[in-house]
A and B are shown apart, each in its own frame.
Chain A
Amino acid sequence: MNHEIVIDQQTIGDMVVLRPAGDIDMARSSTVRKAVSEVVRVRPAKLVMDLTSVEYMDSSGIATLIEGLQSSMRNKMKFVLVGVTPKVRSAFEITKLIGMFTICANIDDAAKI
């Protein structure tokens, strides 16, 4: 059982893409929160969370993304989600918070925003 979450980071033009891989739950959301905070600190124009490899997300993961969205807005950055899997989408839907987020199908679409 892997207790850690791996987060790949890539800079494409004026946007930074974070790609967490694994479940984002109570044990792992603090790692994602830290990665998001570090990106916001350098204020790229856009922060893209690529969730393609996230199979599961609990409310602590959703809370982490809300914090990321709010801190991005405070810093006049765009915050975009891509690759939202059906399981993660249903977690967002039940909290009725999905409408808060800009969601794109892929990185190319996110780059156009």
Chain B
Amino acid sequence: MEREPEISIRLFSDPHLLSTIRAAVDALAKLVGFAERSRGLLTLAVDEALANVIRHGYQERTDEMIWINLWRVREPRGIRIVLDDLGRSVDPAKIKGRDLDDVRPGGLGVHIIKETMDESCWENRPGGGMRLTLVKWLSPEELQNVSPSQPENTTS
């Protein structure tokens, strides 16, 4: 059975709540051992994922539900984040970052997610909606700086 996540949040699809989630992601990432720049990009990627759910999954309705679960991972050391929603389902194969040579506003979120995360996987949920699983590992430099005394209460 999968271990319970370190952080589990259910939130409304309200953009004003995103700063709260950013703070939670940053706090856990710091605990795992991510450096400041990595934490900034990781937080950005999760923020972009949530914004995409609100914008595309729920067409900017602010009273729908999103679930976010965050795990520390031990081998290799990193963080795993799962976002679930009950919004509009799309074919995961069609979720692509746009061509950056096409200079225009919008459509940058998926690019940011794929560039930042080591793993990003969109799936259709059996009951409707989408699930996005994001994984990011510590870099070798970050691993060297992790204190051996840091708690190992993590999942493999």
Contact = CB atoms under 8 A, between A and B. Distances in A.
Contacts of A90: 37, 40-41
Nearest to B106: A63
Contacts, number: 67
A67 B54 contact: no
Interface in B10-48: 15-16, 18-20, 22, 37, 40-41, 43-44, 47-48
Interface string A87-99: 1001100111100
A27 interface: yes
Contact of A25 (B15, B40, B104, B115): B15
A64 B104 CA distance: 10
Interface string B107-147: 01101100110000000000000000000000000000000
Contacts of A26: 15, 18, 47, 51, 54-55
B91 to A, nearest CB: 22
A86 interface: yes
A12 interface: no
Interface residues of A, number: 24
Given A27-B15, A63-B108, A56 B22 contact: yes
A66 interface: yes
Contacts of A23: 19
A59 interface: yes
A59 B109 contact: yes
A59 B55 CA distance: 13
Contacts of B148: none
A113 interface: no
A25 B106 contact: no
A94 B41 contact: yes
Interface centre among A1, A27, A62 (most CB of B within 10 A): A27
A94 B48 CA distance: 13
Interface of B: 15-16, 18-20, 22, 37, 40-41, 43-44, 47-48, 51, 54-55, 100, 103-106, 108-109, 111-112, 115-116
